[in-house]
Structure 1
Amino acid sequence: MLNNHTENSFAIDIDDTDKQLLRLLQTQARMSITELAERVNLSATPCARRIKRLEDSGIITGYHTQTDAQKLGYPLAVFIAISMDRHTADRFEHFEEKIQSFDELVSCSIVTGRTEDYLIKVRVRDMAHYEEFLLHRLNRIEGVAQVHTSFELREVFSRSVV
């Protein structure tokens, strides 16, 4: 579930207990309400209310399973900077629609401060898989003018903001 723009896009006040709950849920989303409540020194009902408020406000956007890409056979992470041939809404919408259908895609962002327009991250099995992805799918999207590739040597860490 990808939800970058929520209808409730205003910031709500969160306190240290809310932050503790968010940290716990980010690392252990299957923890029961009772266990969460104990960990943040609340009873179950107020804890559940806080979580519901965080969900309703759009701070919690979903619950996800993290997987190990290497164990699933996708050890190679690739960052690809993409330049579009024209900067029009139609061109960008077309690209974004097409790119979402690629199973290898991990993330896609429009960026500024570079000559490229998009920065995507993909996971592939090996160099042959990357070559197929690049030449037969990515480069065939209408409007893709240039790509610059960087291979991830090692992810140092990845986390969500709390």
Structure 2
Amino acid sequence: MAELQLDQIDFAILKLLQSHGKLSNQELAVKIGLSPSPCSRRVKALEESGFIAGYATLLSAEHFNLSLTAYVQVRLDKHSHEVLESFETRVCGYDEVLECCLLTGSDADYQLKVLVEDMSQFKVFLLDKLTTDPHIAGVHSSFVLKQVKNQTSIPLPQS
């Protein structure tokens, strides 16, 4: 498949869908200034070419009493492929972990973004789950006092 070359209309579609994912094709077409059929074809092409990775509903953590966000830096004792892969597999199984990133330029190997109800639940996560991994050499946790910016959309080139 030839790589899709994006134009201003494609960027406008992507920008709108990032912030208003529930727009119907009809609504999207009106906002973009296209008729529904070409708009639908463009969205399908953007999906098939991988520019649109998927669709999701963002839930409100506060409505589920999830009020404690922690950033946890993890240092491993070994850096073999097997140890890294094993750690990543375990972490992906923890519902409390929203993000897991392999780092460079830091004393930590990984940074986790963890969301739980309270400090008691964080303690259970930390002691009963995370630190049971025998290859963890150190953990440093920081807690969010105030979320200043939370954005799910990615920056797109200016059209």
- Give TM-score, length-normalised by structure 2: 0.90
| CA displacement at 1:142 relative to structure 2 | 2.9
CA shift, 1:16, in A, is 2.2
> Residues 69 and 17 from structure 1, CA distance in 2 versus in 1: closer, same or farther, beyond 3 angstroms?
same
Query: Does structure 2 conserve the Cα–Cα contact (< 8 Å) formed by 1:95 and 1:142?
Result: no
Give 1:11 shift: 7.1
Q: Does the Cα contact within 8 Å between 1:80 and 1:149 map onto a contact in 2?
A: yes
State the 1:60 CA deviation.
Answer: 0.8
Is residue 27 from structure 1 mapped to residue 22 from structure 2 by the alignment?
A: no
- Equivalent residue pairs, number: 154
Mapped to 1, the partners of 2:146 and 2:44 lie a distance apart of 36
1:95 to 2:87 alignment: yes
Aligned to 2:73: 81
Structure 1 runs of 4+ off > 4 angstroms? none
Partner of 1:3: none
- Counterpart pick for 2:153 among 130, 147, 160: 160
1:70-149 equivalence runs, <5 A: 70-149=62-141
TM-score (norm 1): 0.89
Q: List alignment gaps of at least 5 residues for structure 2.
A: none
Deviation at 1:31, TM superposition (A): 1.0
Rg larger in structure: 2
Structure with greater helix percent: 2
C-alpha displacement of 1:159 = 2.9
Any stretches of 5+ residues in structure 1 without a counterpart?
A: 1-7
- Retained in 2: the 8 A contact 1:107–1:121? yes
Residue identity opposite 2:86 in structure 1: H
Q: What SS does structure 2 have at the residue aligned with 1:70?
A: helix
Structure 1 pair 19–93 and aligned structure 2 pair: CA distance change class (3 A): same
Superposed CA deviations along residues 102-124 of structure 1, whole A, max 9, x for unmatched, are 11111111111111111110101
For 1:156 and 1:12, how far apart are their aligned partners in 2?
A: 36
Deviation at residue 84 of structure 1 after TM alignment: 0.9
Which residue does the alignment assign to 1:18?
Answer: 10
Q: Secondary structure at the match of 1:71?
A: helix
Aligned partners of 2:103 and 2:110 also within 8 Å:
yes
